[in-house]
């Protein structure tokens, strides 16, 4: 396990919580504020929140391959529910859950089968009716090792015997390439881009930017998830790594400069296979 720190470049007048997000409004801010635009039609919703995201499309590929359509499924920490609504619109049976719903009125207007349960996955009582399956996308990076252990126990309790748990690792692994990227390259990249911006801002009398460091969460190796699940009777059935460019996109220099250089993208996607942003696991509850 590696602590995941983020280096942020931001206006000097803005502040950010330096510890792991806890409240729903902190999470919402991290997700760009969860605006309720783009809900004019189902097509507009998916064009806005799904089609351009390699992360969500990777989830969809794994979910459609492994989740049975008829399984009564709980989605834990569902956020905007873009993947969930994609599945619901194809006939899957999913109850979304989060600390708060995101745009519930517009979501229900587009998807009449939208079901939401306000549920703190780490603290609220386990629902009485067990689920055939649970899915959890982009959440476990928030959990310390003890919290991850407690979470696996709660997932097992949510599932009926033989139930399926589909987990996304929610970040790249604790691996040398990812560690150098996060602990060395990204802080340097942020400082360089901040310094360049401030030169430009001083010449034009604009507001300065500063670099701030935030404890974003934790990055785990595959083996750590598999072992934590196993301790609670959840046995690995399938695993898949996807989305090999997402981590490079965090670099301002990559987005602004390197992407324009011929062949760089293909080369970086190749190296990126070592630091997949999406790592999907399917576990079976053996009780
Ligand atoms: C990074 S977002 C991911 C949302 C969505 N699953 C996705 O993939 O886009 C993390 C979500 O976890 C939710 N969350 C954080 N702590 C939670 C908790 N203890 N119980 C349930 N949801 C939680 C946040 O409100 C937020 O919507």
| pLDDT at res. 195 | 95
**Residue to probe by mutation, ligand 1, list 99, 143, 167, 243, most atoms within 8 Å of CB:** 99
**Residue to probe by mutation, ligand 1, list 29, 77, 95, most atoms within 8 Å of CB:** 77
Q: Can you give the residue range of the structural domain that contains 131?
A: 7-285
What is the rounded CA–CA span in Å between residue 278 and residue 287?
A: 28
The stretch 115-143 carries a mean pLDDT of: 98
Average pLDDT value over all residues in the chain = 95
Tokens of 12: 């000097």
For residue 121, pLDDT beyond 90: yes
| pLDDT at res. 15 | 83
What CATH number corresponds to the domain at position 67?
A: 3.40.50.150
pLDDT, tens digit (0-9, with 9 covering 90-100), for 260-279: 898 999 999 999 999 999 99
Among residues 163, 156, 143, 285, which one has the least CA distance to residue 224? 143
For residue 18, pLDDT beyond 90: no
Q: How far is the CA of 101 from the centre of ligand 1 (A)?
A: 10
- Long-range (24+ apart) CB contacts under 8 A made by 189-196 are 189/7, 189/251, 189/252, 189/253, 190/7, 190/8, 190/9, 190/252, 191/7, 192/253, 193/9, 193/252, 193/253, 194/9
Look at ligand 1, atom 15, and give the residue with the nearest C-alpha.
77
| pLDDT at res. 287 | 66
The confidence band for 14, taking pLDDT boundaries of 50, 70 and 90, is confident
Domain presence at residue 2: no
The stretch 138-145 carries a mean pLDDT of: 98
pLDDT, tens digit (0-9, with 9 covering 90-100), for 247-258: 999 999 999 999
For residue 16, pLDDT beyond 90: no
203, HSE (Cβ side, Cα atoms, 13 Å)? 5
**Residue to probe by mutation, ligand 1, list 19, 26, 27, 158, most atoms within 8 Å of CB:** 27
Domain presence at residue 208: yes
Per the document, the length of the chain is 287
For residue 30, pLDDT beyond 90: no
Q: pTM of the predicted model, to two decimals?
A: 0.95
Q: What percentage of the chain carries pLDDT values higher than 90?
A: 93
Among residues 234, 95, 246, which one has the least CA distance to residue 170? 246
Ligand 1 neighbourhood includes 77 CB (under 6 angstroms): yes
The confidence band for 17, taking pLDDT boundaries of 50, 70 and 90, is confident
What is the rounded CA–CA span in Å between residue 271 and residue 34?
A: 32
Name the CA radius of gyration of the chain, rounded.
20
Write the DSSP assignment of 47-75 as a string of letters. HHHTTT-HHHHHHHHHHHHHS-TTSEEEE
| pLDDT at res. 135 | 98
Among residues 209, 149, 245, 264, which one has the least CA distance to residue 10? 209
Q: What are phi and psi of 210, to 5 degrees?
A: -130, 160
What is the rounded CA–CA span in Å between residue 9 and residue 248?
A: 17
Look at ligand 1, atom 4, and give the residue with the nearest C-alpha.
79
Q: Which helix (H) or strand (E) holds 180?
A: helix 176-180
Domain presence at residue 81: yes
Look at ligand 1, atom 24, and give the residue with the nearest C-alpha.
27
Q: Measured in whole angstroms, how far is the alpha carbon of residue 7 from the centre of its chain?
A: 18
pLDDT, tens digit (0-9, with 9 covering 90-100), for 213-234: 999 999 999 999 999 999 999 9
Q: What's the structural domain count of the chain?
A: 1
The stretch 23-50 carries a mean pLDDT of: 95
What is the rounded CA–CA span in Å between residue 279 and residue 237?
A: 14
Domain presence at residue 67: yes
| pLDDT at res. 202 | 92
The confidence band for 119, taking pLDDT boundaries of 50, 70 and 90, is very high
């Amino acid at each position: 396990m590696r602590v995941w720190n983020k280096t942020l470049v931001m206006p000097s007048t803005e502040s950010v919580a330096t510890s792991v997000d806890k409240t729903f409004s902190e999470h919402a801010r991290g997700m760009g504020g969860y605006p309720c635009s783009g809900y004019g039609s189902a097509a507009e919703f998916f064009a806005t929140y799904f089609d351009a995201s390699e992360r969500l499309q990777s989830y969809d590929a794994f979910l459609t391959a492994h989740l049975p359509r008829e399984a009564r499924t709980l989605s834990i920490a569902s956020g905007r529910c873009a993947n969930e609504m994609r599945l619901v619109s194809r006939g899957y049976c999913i109850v979304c859950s989060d600390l708060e719903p995101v745009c519930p009125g517009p979501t229900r207007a587009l998807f009449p089968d939208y079901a939401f349960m306000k549920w703190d996955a780490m603290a609220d009582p386990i629902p009485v009716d067990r689920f055939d399956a649970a899915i959890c996308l982009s959440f476990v990076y928030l959990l310390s090792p003890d919290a991850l252990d407690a979470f696996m126990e709660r997932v097992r309790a949510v599932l009926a015997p033989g139930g399926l748990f589909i987990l996304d690792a929610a970040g790249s692994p604790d691996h040398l390439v990812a560690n150098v990227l996060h602990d060395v390259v990204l802080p340097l990249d942020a400082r360089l881009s901040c310094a360049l911006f401030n030169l430009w801002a001083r010449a034009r009398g604009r507001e300065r930017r500063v670099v701030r460091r935030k404890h974003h969460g934790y990055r785990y190796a595959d083996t750590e998830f598999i072992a934590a699940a196993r301790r609670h009777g959840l046995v690995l059935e399938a695993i898949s790594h996807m989305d090999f460019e997402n981590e490079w996109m965090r670099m301002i220099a990559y987005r602004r400069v390197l992407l324009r250089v011929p062949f760089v993208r293909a080369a970086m996607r190749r190296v990126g296979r070592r630091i997949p942003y999406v790592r999907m696991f399917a576990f079976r509850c053996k009780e």
